[in-house]
Amino acid sequence: MPEREITYAEAIREALREEMRKDPSVFLIGEDIGVYGGAFGVTQGLLEEFGAERVIDTPISETAIVGAAIGAALLGMRPVAEIMFFDFMTLCADQIVNQAAKIRFMFGGKAKVSIVFRSPAGSGTGAAGHHSGSLESWFAQIPGLRVVAPATPYDAKGLLKSAIRDDNPVIFMEHKLLYRVKGPVPEEEYTIPLGVGEVKRKGKDLTIVAYSITVRRSLEAAELLAREGIEAEVVDIRTLRPLDEEIILSSVRKTNRALVVYEPPRFGSFGAEIAALIAEKAFDYLDAPVMRLGGLEMPPPYNPNLERRIAPQVEDIVKASWELLQS
Amino acid sequence: MLLQEDKLKMYFTMLLIRRFEERAEELYMAGKIWGTFHLYIGEEAVATGACFALRPEDYITSTHRGHGHCIAKGADVKKMMAELMGKATGYCYGLGGSMHIADLEGGNLGATGIVGSAIPIAVGAALACKLQKNNRVVLCFFGDGAANTGAFHEAVNMAAVFKLPVVFLCENNLYAMSFPVQKAFAIPDIAERAKGYGIPGITVDGMDVLAVYEATKEAVELARSGFGPTLVEARTYRFRGHSKSDKGVYRTKEEVHMWMERCPIKRFRAHLLAEGVPEATLKDLEKKAEDLIEEAVRFAAESPEPDLEKARGMVYA
């Protein structure tokens, strides 16, 4: 029997549904997640199954959504809060960074803040500078948070289930361009542990380290490179924090060349952390300096031709790979 | 109706708060406590009256000026003093300090150093109470300054539309650090804002423990019976500066003196005497409060320092 294929959005919805069925302390809270089904349709049908007590539509109040999730978590609930666009994380940054992330530590290790903050990120939909952000690097820098960025439907489902069961606040970044992408997802129950990356394609000539949308593009680039006889290994870190350092390092030790591909602006983003890690811990294995391929230094522009240019595309990854191989 | 026994408990709580704060201040001056803190001296009637309107299983959220809330909710002053001294035996293992004490077992969901940020958290706790159908109420303390944050607006509105079991208790001590309420609000009473959220609002004399108790009790009963939140504004005054860095240049000596004349403890003492409580009983309580705080100071001073590796283990669950 051929393996079942569903979309990334459907995979996320399945994870939510399964965890809500299993654990009565799981509930959803956010804007337009009920009858509307979420701005990207991810929560469609959940209101009908679980009712308004567990699929809670709120006024436009990001600070109160996150605060409410934190307060409920302190009483043992496991809220999943949807922040409609990743850019809106700035509206509730105090609650996430100063409260959710720090409370357990500041209360002497006593509280459990078990929350998932789901949010659609990334450019490519023509939504311009206020609805296209990729701010995951900010949150990956905060001790107390976990940051997850799945690239496939299979990973999205398995990682979200683990995130909901985790006793810590988890930022769950969903790339908008992946929502409609289909992939194999088994009917049976499974989870993927946070902090474990995956080699998505094996190769020997260079390592491409990526997460979220750039994994997909790197795989396409690797396919094109393979036609030219170049075998690129694509490492999907899947979780930014905690980071699976070993999967990156062991690949680089094998291929001796590393290209880090990420959507946020090149300067100061999480890709720099990966580059630093490789330089620190695999320097002796490198045949060339670590190369970073990040986004351009500008807010996401509206014009589709310009918008496409700001984030690394397949052809950019191919080009960078050749440069790296020749250096 | 409050029994005399209850009133004596209230009086004792107020004494304990006052003595805790006075000793903390002395220890700070002597270099035994570092950092900074925000003393509750002068505001004892608010925390005491409000917390006495709760059941033990109810919750509170607190503020940067939170020692009084903590004690009134029934916290152990030994663990509090240890926290102020940054010791391992403190409520937060010495990692939170004065501004961030939480006593989760005792129903204190924690103080916060970000003005206004606990208001949405209180709303979330109330949401959990509703979902868990546990018949509990959340009492949310915040100051006049917090009432002007966006968090206040979002949280109060959300609690109002969801009819959550939470009481918003605004401790209006007339100054947000140095900024006076006359300049920060275009309305005379903060409680008037309740109207904009469709909830009841009431302003009470925060120097009168019984008035605070009565107003909060009514609000708590409304919340518990499913009618949603109330905004209670308690007018009060801090006798000390905002924090330890305050040079007191924004208030006149006369004003401070005038409010100190209205000391909530003196006032309640006079009330109890007038009700026929023997002076000796009150003196006993005063001595007892003093002794308890001395014991707390000793406990804290003798307690061990926290360990860095253990602290590192507390970042993630």
By percentage, how much of chain A surpasses pLDDT 70?
A: 99
DSSP A82-118: EPSSGGGGGGGHIIIIIIITTHHHHTTS------EEE
Q: Is the pLDDT of residue A86 over 90?
A: yes
Nearest neighbour of A75 by CB, restricted to B96, B128, B315: B128
Contact B104 A64 (CB under 8 A): no
Distances (CA, A) of B213 to B48, B219, B226: 8, 10, 20
Q: Report, as an integer, the average pLDDT of B68-91.
A: 98
Rounded CA gap, A89 and A145, in Å?
A: 14
Q: Would you report the helix, strand and coil content of chain B in percent, each value rounded to 5?
A: 50, 10, 40
In this prediction the pTM is 0.96
Q: How far is A31 from chain B (nearest CA, A)?
A: 12
Q: Is the pLDDT of residue B93 over 70?
A: yes
- Which of A10, A14, A19, A131 is flagged as catalytic? A131
Tokens (6 digits) for A156: 């999205």
Contacts of B151 in chain A (CB under 8 A): 63-64, 67, 94-95
pLDDT in tens, B6-24: 999 999 999 999 999 999 9
Rounded CA gap, A305 and A176, in Å?
A: 18
pLDDT at B247: 87
Nearest to A299 by CA among A288, A291, A307: A307
Do A225 and A323 meet the contact criterion of CB atoms below 8 Å apart? no
Q: Does A30 touch chain B (CB under 8 A)?
A: no
Rounded CA gap, A157 and A192, in Å?
A: 8
Contact A108 B95 (CB under 8 A): yes
Please state, rounded to an integer, the average pLDDT across all residues of chain A: 97
Tokens (6 digits) for A3: 């393996």
Distances (CA, A) of B47 to A61, A210, B16, B100, B109: 29, 53, 12, 17, 15
pLDDT at B11: 98
Q: Does A68 touch chain B (CB under 8 A)?
A: yes
Hey, what amino acid is at B6? D
Q: Is the pLDDT of residue A40 over 80?
A: yes
pLDDT in tens, A121-172: 999 999 999 999 999 999 999 999 999 999 999 999 999 999 999 999 999 9
Nearest to B134 by CA among A56, A75, A70: A75
Contact A104 B109 (CB under 8 A): no
Rounded CA gap, B212 and B86, in Å?
A: 33
Tokens (6 digits) for B105: 């077992």
Q: Which residue of B has its CA nearest to A145?
A: B316
**pLDDT grade, residue B121 (50/70/90)?**
very high
Q: How far is B100 from chain A (nearest CA, A)?
A: 7
pLDDT at B243: 87
Q: Is the pLDDT of residue B206 over 70?
A: yes
Q: Is the pLDDT of residue B245 over 90?
A: no
Q: Is the pLDDT of residue A1 over 70?
A: no
Upper half-sphere CA count for residue B298 (Cβ side, 13 Å): 6
Hey, what amino acid is at A87? D
Rounded CA gap, A84 and A65, in Å?
A: 11
Tokens (6 digits) for B308: 């860095």
By percentage, how much of chain A surpasses pLDDT 90?
A: 99
Q: Which residue of A has its CA nearest to B312?
A: A105
Please state, rounded to an integer, the average pLDDT across all residues of chain B: 97
Q: H or E stretch including B158?
A: helix B150-162
By percentage, how much of chain B surpasses pLDDT 90?
A: 96
Q: Does B35 touch chain A (CB under 8 A)?
A: no
pLDDT in tens, B34-63: 998 899 999 999 999 999 999 999 999 999
Hey, what amino acid is at B164? L
Contacts of A103 in chain B (CB under 8 A): 102, 110
pLDDT in tens, B251-261: 999 999 999 99
Contacts of A64 in chain B (CB under 8 A): 120, 123, 151, 154-155, 157-158
Test mutation, A96, A102, A106, A164, chain B, max B CBs within 10 A: A106
**Known catalytic membership, residue A246:** no
Rounded CA gap, B68 and B193, in Å?
A: 26
Rounded CA gap, A234 and A260, in Å?
A: 10
Rounded CA gap, B76 and B71, in Å?
A: 7
pLDDT in tens, A216-262: 999 999 999 999 999 999 999 999 999 999 999 999 999 999 999 99
Rounded CA gap, B137 and A266, in Å?
A: 48
Contact A68 B96 (CB under 8 A): no
Do B3 and B65 meet the contact criterion of CB atoms below 8 Å apart? no
Largest CA distance in chain B: 56
**pLDDT grade, residue A184 (50/70/90)?**
very high
Nearest neighbour of A98 by CB, restricted to B91, B114, B122: B114
**Known catalytic membership, residue A62:** yes
Q: How far is B260 from chain A (nearest CA, A)?
A: 34
- Which of A10, A19, A31, A62 is flagged as catalytic? A62
Contacts of A108 in chain B (CB under 8 A): 90-96, 314
CA-CA-CA-CA torsion for A73, A78, A84, A87, nearest 10 degrees?
60
pLDDT in tens, B131-151: 999 999 999 999 999 999 999
Rounded CA gap, A28 and A53, in Å?
A: 9
pLDDT at A2: 66
User: A170 in helix, strand or coil?
Assistant: strand
**pLDDT grade, residue B273 (50/70/90)?**
very high
Contact B124 A74 (CB under 8 A): yes
Beta-bridged to residue A260, according to DSSP, are A209, A292
Per DSSP, helices labelled H in chain A are: 8-22, 46-50, 62-74, 93, 103-106, 136-140, 153-165, 213-227, 245-255, 270-281, 304-310, 314-326
